[in-house]
């Protein structure tokens, strides 16, 4: 953990940096913060800045199309995290009702319908990740802002839109909600127009999706005091459908008019009648790389936030490979680093781009945000093993770091310490499976292709001694590497 404390101190602990962060992010309008970090694509009204001078509820919806969120979802969630840290009420919404319909936005064909079992599994997975994202995000922010008191923030409330649809039938929906929506406006929205002009067209099911999302906003406005919806730029039509429905459809405390029940409907209705606050929408640019590719895709595979699908190491490696043209923009959007700190590292990077200072900072920050300090430690440990050099020595990691990082990796071989006593490096290379024979190991040594703890082995008969400086990780770890990336981790077990 000493390494992580050093990283935290290096990246964000100075009083000057923290002071800059505090002034820009906690004591100014959050819309200004979002604009500075390139989060704002469009707003439904410029009045939103003045409305956000006092705390409001803000929501962002996620449909459970998979059992894990991915980096594309994280863009909008980062925006919602900024609202949370600024003292607003964050309402992440799981679309367990709309997920059965499918959003046509940004799609050239209709989504495959999800079965109930798949939907339930996806909802459960996303619930866990949303809770973890905001918990870790708040912890991440607190480590960089000493004045931030997480206990003073409004608790994040994860909601499900099936809660207000489960007691509503189709006649109630069409008779009491559909009458306030104009078909002309629905057809004119880009997500619908593009599909109408395609050979596949659009089904009534997906055509009605915008009406469901509009009612989500209406319901949250009246029952949870939500005044802002946050979403990607492809959600503009759905968001404006919601603001329009809020303006058109009055609130009533009766079940017949709302399709929902509430324990304190009369109190909510009284509040709504006297509340003239508007409803607003903010859209975030859809993130693409400088080459125009959709962000978060790697060889056709999404980068998931679930460590079971994308490890902390893979998240770190994805960001450390960021192109120079993209790295500053991603530092603004995917980290909570102060802008002066970002400008500083970009200057350092411009002076020595071959050292990837900006990319390494980005990778460390995002990995810590998504996977916590332990995840970052594991990513750094794995990176040092695979790509270690004098700038990232593996000697700094503990035996527990290696055990945690490679716990489920077949390349970690656990052997009693007594079994390697008196054995040469050639014997050990065969024992752990790096070489098929001692002769093959000897040839590698002669050619400079056999490494022990990232150092070339010069003598095929050399015998590393257990419990000495020959082993790292408190004298229990030895790494045998052949070539650039073929490695085995020898973990010595203490004799009973």
Scan for tokens 């990796």, then name that residue: 409
The reported pLDDT for the residue numbered 301 is 66
What does each C-alpha distance from 99 to 43, 90, 118, 207 come to in angstroms? Answer: 25, 21, 11, 14
The reported pLDDT for the residue numbered 437 is 96
Scan for tokens 């619908």, then name that residue: 192
For the chain, how far is it from start to end, CA to CA, in angstroms?
Answer: 28
The reported pLDDT for the residue numbered 123 is 96
Q: What angle do CA 436, 313, 124 make, to 5 degrees?
A: 120
pLDDT along the chain (496 residues), means of 10: 44 39 53 94 92 93 92 94 96 92 64 83 96 97 90 96 91 87 79 75 81 94 96 92 92 52 42 59 88 63 88 94 95 96 97 96 98 95 80 82 89 92 95 95 94 93 90 93 88 78
The reported pLDDT for the residue numbered 208 is 83
Query: How far apart are alpha carbons 334 and 4 in whole angstroms?
Result: 19
**Token pair of 49 as six digits:** 């800045």
- The residue among 64, 83, 177, 84 whose CA lies nearest residue 127 is 64
Rg of the chain over CA atoms, in angstroms?
27
The reported pLDDT for the residue numbered 296 is 64
- The residue among 353, 321, 380 whose CA lies nearest residue 10 is 380
What does each C-alpha distance from 183 to 175, 187, 189, 207 come to in angstroms? Answer: 15, 6, 10, 10
Scan for tokens 């039509």, then name that residue: 237
- The residue among 95, 88, 94, 79 whose CA lies nearest residue 43 is 79
Q: Which helix (H) or strand (E) holds 492?
A: strand 486-493
The reported pLDDT for the residue numbered 391 is 53
Query: How far apart are alpha carbons 328 and 101 in whole angstroms?
Result: 37
């Amino acid at each position: 953990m000493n390494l992580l404390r050093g990283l935290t101190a290096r990246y964000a602990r100075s009083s000057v940096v923290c002071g800059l962060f505090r002034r820009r992010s906690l004591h100014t309008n959050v819309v200004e913060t979002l604009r500075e970090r390139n989060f704002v694509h469009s707003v439904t009204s410029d009045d939103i800045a003045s409305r956000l001078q006092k705390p409001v509820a803000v929501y962002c919806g996620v449909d459970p199309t998979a059992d894990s969120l991915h980096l594309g979802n994280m863009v909008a969630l980062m925006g919602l995290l900024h609202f949370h840290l600024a003292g607003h009420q964050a309402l992440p919404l799981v679309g367990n009702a709309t997920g059965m319909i499918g959003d046509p936005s940004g799609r050239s064909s209709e989504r495959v319908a999800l079965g109930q079992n798949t939907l339930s599994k996806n909802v459960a997975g996303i619930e866990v990740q949303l809770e973890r994202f905001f918990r870790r995000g708040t912890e991440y922010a607190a480590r960089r802002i000493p004045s931030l008191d997480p206990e003073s923030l409004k608790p994040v409330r994860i909601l499900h839109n099936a809660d207000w649809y489960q007691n509503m039938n189709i006649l109630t929906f069409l008779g009491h909600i559909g009458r306030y929506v104009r078909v002309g406006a629905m057809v004119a929205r880009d997500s619908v127009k593009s599909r109408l002009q395609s050979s596949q067209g659009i089904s009534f099911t997906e055509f009605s999706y915008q009406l469901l999302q509009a009612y989500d906003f209406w319901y949250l406005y009246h029952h949870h005091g939500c005044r802002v919806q946050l979403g990607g730029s492809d959600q503009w039509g759905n968001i404006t459908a919601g603001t329009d429905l809020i303006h058109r459809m009055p609130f009533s405390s009766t079940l017949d008019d709302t399709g929902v029940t509430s324990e304190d409907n009369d109190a909510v209705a009284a509040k709504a009648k006297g509340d003239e606050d508007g409803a607003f929408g903010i859209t975030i640019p859809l993130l693409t790389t400088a080459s125009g590719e959709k962000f978060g895709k790697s060889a056709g595979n999404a980068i998931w936030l679930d460590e079971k699908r994308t490890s902390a190491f893979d998240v770190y490696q994805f960001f450390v490979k960021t192109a120079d043209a993209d790295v500053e923009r991603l530092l603004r959007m995917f980290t909570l680093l102060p802008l002066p700190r970002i400008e500083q590292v970009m200057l350092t990077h411009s002076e020595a781009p071959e050292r990837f200072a900006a990319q390494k900072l980005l990778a460390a920050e995002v990995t810590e945000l998504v996977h916590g300090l332990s995840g970052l430690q594991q990513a750094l440990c794995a990176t040092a093993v695979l790509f270690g050099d004098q700038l990232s020595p593996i000697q700094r990691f503990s035996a527990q770091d290696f055990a945690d990082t490679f716990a489920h990796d077949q390349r970690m071989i656990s052997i009693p310490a007594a079994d390697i006593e008196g054995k040469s490096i050639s014997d050990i290379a065969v024992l752990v499976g790096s070489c098929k024979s001692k002769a093959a190991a000897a040839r590698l040594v002669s050619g400079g292709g056999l490494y022990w703890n990232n150092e070339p082995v010069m003598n095929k008969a050399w015998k590393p001694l257990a419990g000495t400086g020959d082993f790292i990780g408190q004298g229990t770890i030895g790494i045998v590497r052949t070539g650039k990336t073929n490695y085995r981790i020898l973990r010595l077990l203490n004799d009973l």
